[in-house]
Each structure stands twice: as C-alpha cells, then as structure tokens.
A and B are shown apart, each in its own frame.
Chain A
Amino acid sequence: MVDMARRSSRAGVAAMAIVGMAALTACGSDSSAQEGEGGVTTLTMTVWGGDTDKKAYQERVDMLEAAHPEIKIDLQLIPGDQYEQKVQTMIAGGDGPDIMQVAEGVNVYSSKGQILPLDEYIASSGLDLEERFGPVGDLYSYEDQVYAIPDRSGAMVVYYNKDLFDAAGLEYPNADWTWEDAQAAMEELTIPGEQWGYGGAGWWAQWWSFAYQNGGQIIDDSGKPTANSPEVVEALQWANDLTHRHHVVPTAAEYADMGPDMGGDPAFAAQKVAMNTTGFWAIGGLLEADFNWDIAPMWRGEEQAVTAFGSGLAISRDSDHPEEAFTAIDYLTDAEAQQVIIDTAQDVPANLEVQQSDAFLAPEWAPEGLNMGAFGESSSFIFRAPFIPQWNEMHAAFDDNLGTFWNEGGDAKTQLDAIQTQLESVIR
C-alpha cells in the first residue's frame, strides 16, 4: 500500500522529468553543423528580409550547392525587426549560425568575440578584398581585423519624379548640385498643403550625409563623439529648416495625416513628394508606378558624401566548420553568385565586377533609361559611418533627443549638445 503511493508519486516525478528532458533536448539539439553521409557538411545561414530576399538568397545558395556538392546550406530567413534578437538568442544559446548576415551592428559581435576574424582565411584563399569590393572591402573591420565579407552595398540615391520636374521646367538632380541648388528646386516643386519638394532628412542616413558633406563627423577618427561640432550642427539645422522654416518637406503631422507608417518612400510613390533620398530597395515598389521617375547620385555640400547601405557575411564563433563556411562566403560574394542579387532586383551587389557589368547597368526589369550608373558614381564618395559596438545605443541617443525637434522644429545646437553628453557616457 505504502509502496503504491510512493510509486505513484515517483511516477509523477518521472513524468515531470521526462517532460523536462524533452524540453531541454529540444533546446539543446544541435542541428547546425552535422557531417552527413558522403562528407557533406551542412551549414546554417541566417539572413533577414522579405520575399524578394528569400528568392535571391535561395537562388544563390542553390548555385553554391551545385558548385560545391560537399556543402549544404540550411538557409534561415528572419524578418528584419526580429533578426538581431533571434541571432542574439541563438548565439547566447551556443547554437549560433555558421554564416550570418551582419550590417551596421557588426561590431557588437566582433568586439565581443562572437564572430571570427577572417584574415587568415582571406590570406589562404587568395581573396583580394580591395580588388573585389573596392573601398568597402574592409568596411566590416574592427581593430584592424576583418570580420565580415561585403555582400550587398549600395549608396543612398536621389529618387526624383521626372513628370513634376518637367512640369516645373527644372533641371534634374545631379551630383554637382549644392545645398542651395537642391533647396531652390524643392521650393519650386512645393505646392503648400498638397505637394512637397523633398521627402525629408529625418532618418540618420539622410541627415548624416549632409553632416559629412559639411565636413563634420559623428564620431571622429580617434573614436570620440563629435556630434555637436559646428559642421554637424549646421547640417542638422538645415535638414530641419527644410521642414519647419522653408516648408518644402511634409511635417510629421502632415505625414501622419497621409496614413499610418507614412514616410518619404510611400509619399514619393504617391507623388506627394518630388524628391526622396533612400536606398536601392525603393526601386522595387516603383516599377509599377504610373509616372516617370529616375535616380541620381546625392547632391553635395562643401564636399561630396553619402551614406551607403549594405551588409556582409560573417562566421560565428560557434561554427564547427569555419573553413567550409568561408568557402561558401567566398563563392557567394564572387561575380557569378552576386549577379543574382541584381537579376532579382534585390539590391546592389558589393562585387565591383558585377556593379560595372551590363547586367547591373541595364537590368531586364528596369524601366527604359533608368540611371543605374548612379550607384557606381556614388561609390567614390561614400562616407565611412562609425560602426561602433554601441551602434544601437548611439542611435537611441539621437532618437531620444530629436523626436520633438523633427516633429516641431527647434535648435539643432541645443539638441546636439544633449546628444553629445549622452554619447560621451555611452562610448567609453
């Protein structure tokens, strides 16, 4: 009798244990890198994006698997807003992906030794970063070591509505435009309350371009924040004045009235703004547009400067097969596989050879005469954004102090002084 009670309670404990074990093994099962039969190595690869990205990456992975039968890639596409958290959780759980896409936040990982320095692999494979990628070859470096190979890399460009420009009898935007030229055109193109000359520069990629054009830097070459230097202040003030003094950019309130999640990109597609500065991705949404548009390199200030968007491929410290992973990355960033990026209208490939090829300059899907050369032209004056390990915190400092400034106008100096103080406490 007593035994029975014991047994029953023991059974309960056992049941608990089994459930617990199941949960544990489910977490711990390591499917990332397994040596299958016939010496095939399976590598996990994490990337972010949507359907276009999935298609492009899968096509490239298929090419890789055909060319290297010993490698199999388990491609994991993660929505962009969850990517960092997902990868962080994978790494923290000791199950980081073999190959992972990284961008501005790369040095969160490199500074903490979570991704491998690639210099040795680069040397032994004979890959010449400078030759393959030009000036962005060592973009993803930290303390003189390369941590990721560039994969996608495109400058921000000016999208402009040709119809509106023609109607106003204006010259199209070009790289020789100064701030004054740009502003004059914006003023011509603005019909108060109805149409605006420009989509605005409230996003860091936009107003930082102006700051660097003006000779400023957010973080100087020695790693110290210089966010409130006179050059940066002047650029930020100009960006803000376009909205609140010159009224050639919709205010936040005007954007909010156009619909939820409205901004420069959708407003340009809706012909509400005549010019918009953004990355390659906007092209996809404009292919079906029923008005004439084109792209041009960014205008200039004191000097030429523009933000670039891109991403690289890195190998996590958890990878059991770093050599195979590097072979894969080498193949994926080589001309043949990179051409898929442009064929699928996904992005600008980082590979220079492809960027200069006819496949890029006159893609099948592009409207007649689209100035794809704008990207190549811009690449010579891309500024090096400070990819510090505290990248997210740095941006929070800007967001925390510029919200009202962008919404309602204000004094750039006051805000940047506050930001500078905050940055000094973040970047130690």
Chain B
Amino acid sequence: MSTIVGEALGAARATSPRRAGRRRLPRPKLSRRGKVEAFWFWVFISPWLVGFVGFLLGPMVASVYISLTEWDSFTPAVFVGLENYARALTQDPIFWKALGNTFVYALVSVPLGLAVGVWLANLLNKRVRGRKLFRTLIYLPTLVPLVATAMVFKMVLAPSGPLNDLLGLFGVHGPNWLLDPTWVKPALVVMSAWGAGGATVLLLSAMNGIPREFYEAAEIDGAGPVRQFWSITFPQITPIIFFNLIMGLIGAFQIFSQVYILTAGGPDNASQMVVPLLFREAFSFYHFGYASAIAWLLFVVIMVFTAIAFRTSRRWVFYETEVR
C-alpha cells in the first residue's frame, strides 16, 4: 500500500514538465520538509479521497454490475448479461421517448441559456445607471431553491397565469403550458432560462477581464459596436462560453427536480426525462438493474456530447495563452 501511495505522491510532485518524460529514473528522495508536506497533503486530501472512493467510485463500479442483473433490491440479484441494455434500446418505447425529450430539452435550453446569458452580460457590461442593482437582480433567481422556483412556475405557467396574460397583451392566446403535450417541454425550457443568471455572472467577469486597449485600437480603426462585439468581446469570452456549454449540457441531460415537481413526466410522458425515468424504475418499480442500465446509457450519451463539444472547441474557443 505504501509504495502505491508513494508513487502517487511522486507523480503529484512531478511539477516540472522536463521530469515527466524521464519515467525510468529512480524517484528523487524527498527532503525532510517534503515529507512533512506530503504527510499533511494526505491528511488534508483524505476526506475527499474517502468520499470519492466510498461514495462515488464504489457505487459507480457497483452499478456497472447491477446493470447486468435483474435486482429488486430485496432478493439476490440474478445475472442477465446485457438484457437490460437490449430491453431499453429495443423494447421500451418509454425509454426512447424520455431520451428524445431529454435531447430536445438539452439542445434547446442550453444554447438558449447561453444566448440569453451572453446578451444579459453584454448589457450589464455597459456603463449604465444602477448597473450593480441589475446584476444582483439577474443573479438572484439562481439563489432561489429549485423547488421554490418550480412552485412559482406552476402558477406563472397556469392557463390564465401571468405568462399567458403577458402573451395576451400581444394578442397571442397562450397554451395550457403544463397540461399540453406539445407545450410542456417548451415550458421547462422557459423555466431553465430563468436560471441564466448563473452563466451571466461568469461571462460578465470574463468581459471585465478584456483589456480596454483592444477596444480603443478597434475604435481608432473604425469598428462599430457590433463589429467590436464579434471581433473582440466574443472571441475573448469563448473559454467561458465553452465552460458553460459543457456544464449546461451535463446539467440539462440530468434534469430531474423540475420534472419531478412540475409534471411528474406527464401528460402521457410528454415531459418524461431520462433521470426521472430511471428514478421511477428503481424506486417505484423496483427494477434496479434496468435503472442502472439506463443510467449508463445516459452516461454514454453525455460523454458523446461532451466529446463532440471538446472536438469542435478547437475551432471556436480562443485561449490567449495558446495563440498558434
């Protein structure tokens, strides 16, 4: 055990890039101070290590096995191989419906949230009166617990609720948001836009970090505000947009509370998403194996989308330190 730990320790201390290449050489001995430091390193990191191994890695490994069994959580698990995966992919229309719904939700809500976030951040970046107040107001929704937000939205989205009243002012007859299979997903998207303030704050700080000289130079060259935005602001904040895109995608694919509270997946599974579905399979139907299989399928989906995002990021994300 101590050798493994020691090795990891050595790796952790290999800070110089030159040293990384020479793997075969014997590890340099630690100085006395280094050892004391190492000791405290392990003391301080251990709660997280224990937490990670015990509460994350362990359950994850276990769920791989569970996904290959039929298990009701009471009686011993029966090994069934890949049957759960086959059932989800070939025989369960509700799984496909939930996956489709989750795709729609993620692929609409994430870009929309980013667009709203960038727009708001750009507005807040202007030197307007009461800027601080606006910033606070826009970030405030993020601080409200999701459950409370959902309860409020139940009223906002009511057939004769404030949102439809607002639409009525423009002569639009609003739908029965949460009761209509066509409109229940857009309703969830609307609610997700409510939380765009979280991204806004990050984007705003990125915008504040852009050197003023860029804009001054652009102005001298005759660039207008739009041109300045697309040629300076946007490229400079792409790393933050990228970060928000990844986090947003992961979060959107894992949507749970909103569905659980607002619609319970209804009507007729029109708003059923993958995580609420697997929760229902595990804790209501006692199909832990099947639920675990769904969890891993979702994991694969999220990995694929994250990988795509990373692949394409080279083309549009601009890191100043990496100018090629």
Interface residues, chain A, with chain B CB atoms under 8 Å away: 1, 4-6, 8-13, 15-16, 19-20, 23, 84-85, 88, 91-92, 108-109, 112-114, 252-254, 256-257, 259-261, 390, 392-393, 396, 399-404, 406-408
Contact = CB atoms under 8 A, between A and B. Distances in A.
11 contacts: A1-B29, A9-B39, A10-B1, A15-B42, A19-B50, A88-B73, A88-B286, A113-B74, A396-B280, A396-B285, A399-B264
A88 to B, nearest CB: 6
Contacts of A1: 29, 32, 35
Given A15-B43, A260-B155, A400-B268, A20 B50 contact: yes
Given A16-B46, A16-B49, A5 B35 contact: yes
A369 B270 CA distance: 47
Contacts of B268: 400-404
A5 B50 contact: no
Contacts of B46: 12, 15-16, 19
Contacts of A84: 283-284
Contact of A16 (B50, B151, B179, B181): B50
Contact of B42 (A8, A114, A260, A404): A8
Interface stretch (B157-165, B218-226, B235-243): B157-165
Interface string B66-82: 00000011110000000
Interface stretch (B2-10, B120-128, B195-203, B310-318): B2-10
Nearest to A96: B74
B267 interface: yes
Given A112-B74, A393-B285, A259 B155 contact: yes
B166 to A, nearest CB: 15
A390 B286 CA distance: 9
A16 B50 CA distance: 6
Interface string B29-68: 1101001101100110011011000100000000000000
A407 B39 contact: no
A257 B280 contact: no
A13 B54 CA distance: 14
B1 to A, nearest CB: 6
Nearest to B32: A1
A400 B94 contact: yes
B38 A260 contact: no
B39 A8 contact: yes
Given A6-B6, A8-B42, A20-B50, 6 more contacts: A10-B1, A16-B50, A84-B284, A256-B154, A392-B284, A400-B269
B254 interface: no
Question: Which residue, B30, B266, B284, has most C-beta atoms of chain A within 10 A?
Answer: B284
A261 B147 CA distance: 14
Contacts of A254: 159
B54 A23 contact: yes
Contacts of A20: 50, 54
Interface of B: 1-2, 5-6, 9, 29-30, 32, 35-36, 38-39, 42-43, 46-47, 49-50, 54, 72-75, 94, 151, 154-155, 158-161, 176, 178-181, 264, 266-270, 280, 283-286
Nearest to B49: A16
Contact of A5 (B38, B49, B159, B180): B38
Contacts of A10: 1-2
A85 B283 contact: yes
B178 A256 contact: yes
A257 B157 CA distance: 9
A396 B280 CA distance: 9
A392 B38 contact: no
Contact of B39 (A12, A16, A23, A91): A12
Nearest to B39: A8
Contacts of A5: 6, 30, 35, 38
A10 to B, nearest CB: 6
- Indicate the member of B47, B72, B280 with the most A CB atoms within 10 Å: B72
Contacts of A8: 35-36, 38-39, 42
A9 B42 contact: yes
Given A256-B176, A260-B155, A396-B284, A9 B9 contact: yes
B1 A13 contact: yes
Contacts of B74: 88, 91-92, 109, 112-114
Contacts of B151: 260
B176 A407 contact: yes
A392 B151 CA distance: 25
A11 B50 contact: no
A113 B47 CA distance: 39
Nearest to A6: B2
* From A9, A19, A399, residue with most partner B Cβ within 10 Å: A9
A209 to B, nearest CB: 22
A357 to B, nearest CB: 38
A156 B5 CA distance: 65
B179 A252 contact: yes
Those 10 A-B pairs whose CB atoms lie nearest each other, nearest first: A403-B267, A12-B42, A8-B39, A253-B159, A403-B266, A403-B268, A260-B154, A92-B73, A9-B5, A407-B179
Nearest to A85: B283
Given A256-B158, A257-B160, A259-B155, A9 B2 contact: yes
Nearest to B75: A112
In this complex, which of A8, A19, A254, A396 has the most chain B Cβ atoms within 10 angstroms of its Cβ?
A: A8
